Structure 1
Amino acid sequence: MPLQHSGGPPRFLPCGGPDPALLAWHHCCGEPSISPSLSHTERIINGQDTVPGLWPWQVSLQNRYGSHFCGGSLINENWVVTAAHCEFKPLLHVVILGGYDRTSRADPVQVKNVITNPDWNSYTLNNDIALLKLASPAKLGPHVSPVCLPPTDLHLPDNLQCVTTGWGRITYILADSLECAKYWGSQITSSMVCAGGAGASSCQVRSQIPAADEGVWTLTGIVSWGSGNCNVNTPTAYTRVSHFRNWIDSVVQA
Structure 2
Amino acid sequence: CGVPAISPSLQYSERIINGQNAVSGSWPWQVSLQTRTGSHFCGGSLINNYWVVTAAHCEFNPYSHVVVLGEYDRSSSSEAVQVKTVVKAVTHPNWDAYNLNNDITLLKLSSPAQLGSRVAPVCLAPANLALPSNLQCVTTGWGRPCGFANALAVRLQQVTLPLVSQSQCMQYWGNKITSSMLCAGGVGASSCQGDSGGPLVYKNGNVWTLIGIVSWGNSNCNIRTPAVYTRVSQFRNWID
Fold shared by both chains (TM-score > 0.5): yes
Are the aligned partners of 1:209 and 1:220 in contact in 2 as well (CA < 8 Å)? yes
Calculate the TM-score normalised by the size of structure 2: 0.87
Calculate the TM-score normalised by the size of structure 1: 0.83
- Partner of 1:196 in structure 2? 185
Deviation at 1:241, TM superposition (A): 0.3
Mean alpha-carbon deviation: is it higher for 198-207 or for 178-187?
198-207
Deviation at 1:48, TM superposition (A): 3.4
Deviation at 1:43, TM superposition (A): 5.3
Deviation at 1:158, TM superposition (A): 1.0
For the pair shown, which has the larger CA radius of gyration, 1 or 2? 1
Q: Following the alignment from structure 1 to structure 2, what is the Cα–Cα distance between the partners of residues 228 and 38?
A: 26
CA RMSD of aligned residues (A): 1.6
Deviation at 1:53, TM superposition (A): 2.3
- Partner of 1:124 in structure 2? 99
Q: Following the alignment from structure 1 to structure 2, what is the Cα–Cα distance between the partners of residues 99 and 48?
A: 16
Deviation at 1:216, TM superposition (A): 0.0
Q: Following the alignment from structure 1 to structure 2, what is the Cα–Cα distance between the partners of residues 229 and 59?
A: 25
- Partner of 1:165 in structure 2? 140
Identity %: 62
* Residue type at the aligned position of 1:199: G
Deviation at 1:126, TM superposition (A): 0.2
Matched, 1:139 2:130: no
- Partner of 2:88 in structure 1? 113
Q: Following the alignment from structure 1 to structure 2, what is the Cα–Cα distance between the partners of residues 201 and 137?
A: 33
Deviation at 1:40, TM superposition (A): 4.2
After superposition, give the CA deviation of every residue in 1:142-164 in whole Å (9 maximum; x if it has no partner): 00000001110211111111001
Per the alignment, in what secondary structure is the counterpart of residue 141 of structure 1?
Answer: coil
After superposition, give the CA deviation of every residue in 1:40-71 in whole Å (9 maximum; x if it has no partner): 458585x4332332000000000111111000
After superposition, give the CA deviation of every residue in 1:54-104 in whole Å (9 maximum; x if it has no partner): 000000000111111000000000000000000000111100001113345
Are the aligned partners of 1:61 and 1:94 in contact in 2 as well (CA < 8 Å)? yes
Flag the structure with more relative contact order, 1 or 2, with Cα contacts below 8 A and sequence separation at least 6.
2
After superposition, give the CA deviation of every residue in 1:170-225 in whole Å (9 maximum; x if it has no partner): 10100122220110111000000000001111226222100110110000000110
Are the aligned partners of 1:52 and 1:98 in contact in 2 as well (CA < 8 Å)? no
Q: Which runs of 5+ in 1 are unaligned?
A: 1-28, 250-254
Are the aligned partners of 1:73 and 1:81 in contact in 2 as well (CA < 8 Å)? yes
* Residue type at the aligned position of 2:228: A
Moved over 4 A (4+): 40-45
Are the aligned partners of 2:89 and 2:108 in contact in 1 as well (CA < 8 Å)? yes
